[in-house]
Every structure is written in C-alpha cells, then in structure tokens.
Amino acid sequence: MIVTVIVACEVAFWAVLAAGLGARYLLGLRRTGAVLLACVPVVDLVLLAATAADLRAGAAADWQHGLAAVYLGFSVAYGHYLVRWADGHAAHRLGGGPKPAGPPKYGAARTRHEWAMCGRTLAGAAVAAALLQVTVWWVGDPGRTAVLGEWQTRMLWVCGISVVVALSYTVWPKAEPRARAEEKETASR
C-alpha cells in the first residue's frame, strides 16, 4: 500500500508544481501560482500521515516504510531546489524570461556546485535517518522495525558516495577545454 501512496505523492508533486507554474505563467495568476507552489510540501504531509496510519494500525515496518522515509527526506532537501529549477525553466519557456543558467561545468564553480549538491544529499539522508529513528521509537517494537535500521545504513552509504563525488571535483577539478579557454581569452581582448 505504501508504495502506491509514494507513487501517488510523486505524481501529485509534479501535478501541483505544474498547476502552480501554469497558473503563474500561462494564466498570469501570479498570486494563485505562488499559493499552489506553496502547497507542494502538503504532498509530503499526506505521505507522512499515510505511513504513520499504516504503522499505527499494526503493520510491521518493511522496505516500503523505509522508502517512504527516504522519499520524504530527499523531498525536504531537494524540494525547494526542484521548484526553483522548474520555475526558472517555466519563466523562460512560458513567460518569455531569460534562459536559466545551468550548473557550472568547470573549475572552482563546478566544485562549489558539487559541494552544494552534496550538502543537499547529506540533509536529505539526515532527515530520512531521523524519520526512520523516530518511527523505531514510535512503534516501540524492535521486532516490527528491524528493517528500518538497514535503511539508515543505506543512508550512510549515500552520504559517503556523495562526499566522494564532491571530493573528486575538489581534488581533480574539471578543467575547461583548451579550445574553449582560448576562445574566451581572444574574445576578452
């Protein structure tokens, strides 16, 4: 049941986001669009309530409940970033705004971007791990929640991988291709 709710919440996230952006840029209803965009986190509350109700009804915590906590954690960490990204693209495509800048590709700017993404990932993993731990305490039956500890271990792996990726950009920053750097230098003269 929880997987169905997770899928429904993911669809609802994008539907509410599209409705907010459509109201803002297609219909010119900026205030209505802002209200709809502010409702995006409500989708997460629905998932949290469904998961809590399932566990309160006596269900043994399984991989689905762990996945729900991870979904919520990463939705909290990446949600604002995704809404801002989608808003920039909608402003460009639908509102005649400037094309949004993509993430930097080279050098120190790319390294900073990778560390920012790492920070979001660490925040998402921390929220997920905290939700998992609160669930363990709330249910109060180690026999029903043992699988949730495995999800916490997975979150440690996700954190480690994210830090390694960001470190790799720090130690070996991606250099701008030589021809492109020469073009820039020629244009600046």
* Burial readout 156-165 (b: 16 or more C-beta within 10 A, e: otherwise): eebbeebeee
The model's pTM: 0.84
Query: In the structure, what pLDDT confidence band is assigned to residue 181 with cuts at 50, 70 and 90?
Result: low
Please state the rounded mean pLDDT for residues 161-168.
97
Q: How confident is the model at residue 157 (pLDDT cuts 50, 70, 90)?
A: very high
- CA separation for the pair 126, 158 (Å, rounded): 11
What pLDDT score was predicted for residue 179?
63
- Among residues 82, 49, 68, 70, which one has the least CA distance to residue 4? 68
Kindly report the backbone phi and psi dihedral angles of residue 114, in degrees, each rounded to the nearest multiple of 5, phi listed first. -65, -35
What residue segments make up the domains of the chain, in order of their start? 2-188
CA distances from 184 to 112, 173, 175, 179, 180 (A): 22, 19, 14, 9, 6
| Predicted local distance difference test score (pLDDT) of residue 178 | 75
In tens, the pLDDT along 82-119 reads 999 999 999 999 989 999 999 999 999 999 999 999 99
Looking at the predicted structure, is the pLDDT value of residue 57 above 90? Answer: no
Place of tokens 């916490």: 152
* Euclidean distance between CA atoms 97 and 112, whole angstroms: 26
pLDDT tens readout for residues 1-21: 888 998 999 999 999 999 999
189 pLDDT higher than 70: no
Q: Give, to the nearest 10 degrees, the angle between helix 107-139 and helix 63-93.
A: 140
What's the DSSP call for residue 62? Answer: -
